[in-house]
Amino acid sequence: MPTIAVTVVYALPDRATEVAVELPAGATVADAIARSRIAERHPEAALEHAATGIFGKRVGREEALANGDRVELYRPLRADPKTARRRRASTRDAR
């Protein structure tokens, strides 16, 4: 059976965990995450609920993978980007 090689990545502010895995052709994002065992390396992160993507494009865990794909697990945002931008803009205007 043909196989594919993919990388599973979880990034933190100060470091990233990157795990290369080999899977059967037709494997999904969920298969890659499970095979990488990345959740065991970051039990504090609750990665079973994390949003996922391939090369920066958000996809579901049922998405089929291609050879060379980079599966990414995303952390939740700490602040709403629009709110943070408004706060920075109001600080600049007040000067």
Q: 29-82: per-residue pLDDT in tens?
A: 999 999 999 999 998 888 888 999 999 999 999 999 999 999 999 988 776 778
pLDDT the model gives residue 60 = 96
> Would you tell me how many other CB atoms lie within 10 Å of the CB of residue 73?
22
Tally of structural domains, the chain: 1
- CATH number of the structural domain spanning residue 55: 3.10.20.30
Give residue-wise pLDDT tens across range 13-33. 899 999 999 999 999 999 999
- Print the domain residue range for 45: 3-93
Q: Going by C-beta distance under 8 Å and a sequence separation of 6 or more, which residues neighbour residue 12?
A: 75
Tell me the pTM: 0.80
pLDDT at 94: 58
Identity of residue 81: P
